[in-house]
Structure 1
Amino acid sequence: MDSEKTKIYHEKQKLQFCLLHALNNLFQQQEAFTRARLNEISGKLVLDDPSKKTWTPLSIVFKPHHNAFTGNYDINVLIAALEEKDKTVVWHDRRNAASTIDLDGADDSLFGIVLNVPARRYALLWKGRHWITMRKIGGVWYNLDSDLPKPMPFEGTREVRGYLDYVLSNGGEVLLVMNNKE
């Protein structure tokens, strides 16, 4: 099934807002989250932190959970944002192969997958991490990486698992986004 036939929402990369793009791609909705909302979540995390850092002039830009100008949100913002949408994050144990992930569960408990991978940008001068979403849509798994020109379908679960194993073996993290059971 081609992404042209199945309507798939796919945000493209801007600055370091890959977590924003990953969340909107995950929920298949343009403003499932906004930059303002992620900044609010980040600010609330700072207020709720019992070991608050001391403020410095650099705190205006370099906040504990994101960069005020470029984005670059951390895992805490991801988890809090997903909790707002009644989702939970399960960190996949990297000691286990991707074959241990139930990609075809009949109970629909797996909503999607978010990856955090090492990345080099800006003529390989900047080294950081990048958020990527994978989601099953219309029975097909897609790589919804905001750096890709369009959503990339996987041939099947074997290819998905191969990609996840590649991510794990290259320093990436696999985060399973689960639907909360009522």
Structure 2
Amino acid sequence: MNSKPTIYHEKQVKELCALHALNNLFQTRGTFSKSELDTICSRLSPNVWFNPHRSMLGLGNYDINVIMAALQKKGCEAVWFDKRKDPGCLDLSNICGFILNVPSDYKLGFVMLPLRRRHWITIRQIQGNFYNLDSKLDAPQLIGRSSDLIAYLKEQLDSKEKELFIVVSKEVEEKQLWMHQYALQNNIQHTQNSCMDQLQLNHCDSPVDSLSSLSAYDYRNRDAECLKLTEVRNCIVSRENNL
């Protein structure tokens, strides 16, 4: 009979859910500390009175920029998942874990305050099963095997207020190995077709102008397509060859 796995699970303190999510992800106490995350905040926005990446009171409430910078210190990247895609396209064998961002009510003791906060939750695989390691839970919550996880993610992403970030190694992020190759090829083809359609629609005379108009990745905008520069260049070259 299989023994129950030992799971590290940090419980919620103040507004430190981002800190708990990171430590739960790496399954080690003290992987990160509050002082380390505060240092990242200062580095991201130096010489400011009120740091935009955390709570004004300094109790936590760190944003995604802090989480991404912390992950990069460990050789990892957080990839925003476009919820218009089917989570079934994910290659779970190349994914370290997931960080889910959900809305959360704010309490002061037993009093519910009229404030809206965001809450960070880690999901990861431990000894073959996936667990919800939400710091607000009394204990880790078993999700199940791969098929159970995909169903769980689909249910979560039905909500417009929830966002999913995939945690992968830097190499996996660069090569987009977090997505099954068949899905990746379909995604590239869709991107190229969209680019061609846009170029034809706008009758763009200057490829440089078209490239410069691409905005940087913005995790807040679900409608932003994460287009790689090389893919856009390929679209432009293909367009010029057809003229």
So what's the TM-score if we normalise by structure 1?
0.84
Q: Which residue of 2 aligns with 1:12?
A: 11
Alignment of 1:52-63 (within 5 A): 55=48, 59=49, 62-63=50-51
Q: Which residue of 2 aligns with 1:112?
A: 97
Moved over 3 A (4+): none
Which residue type is aligned with residue 163 of structure 1? Answer: Y
Q: Deviations over 1:36-74 (max 9, x none)?
A: 000001100013xxxx8xx5xxx3xx4211014320000
Q: Which residue of 2 aligns with 1:25?
A: 24
Answer with 1 or 2: which has the greater Rg.
Answer: 2
Q: Which residue of 2 aligns with 1:167?
A: 156
Distance 1:14 1:163 in 2: 26
Provide the secondary structure at the position in 1 that maps to 2:96.
strand
Alignment of 1:24-173 (within 5 A): 24-47=23-46, 55=48, 59=49, 62-67=50-55, 68-103=57-92, 105=93, 109-122=94-107, 123=112, 125-170=114-159, 171-173=161-163
Which residue type is aligned with residue 27 of structure 1? Answer: F
Distance 2:90 2:136 in 1: 25
Judging by fraction of residues, say which structure has more helix: 2
Report how many aligned residue pairs link the two structures.
166
> Which range moves more in the overlay, 116-125 or 88-97?
116-125
Provide the secondary structure at the position in 2 that maps to 1:125.
strand
* Identical amino acids, percent of aligned pairs: 41
So what's the TM-score if we normalise by structure 2?
0.64
Q: Deviations over 1:71-120 (max 9, x none)?
A: 000010011000000001111111112212222x2xxx311100111112
Judging by fraction of residues, say which structure has more strand: 1
Structure 1 unaligned spans of 5+:
none
Distance 1:166 1:78 in 2: 24
- The root-mean-square deviation of aligned C-alpha atoms, in Å, is 2.0
Contact 1:117 1:167 in 2 (8 A): no
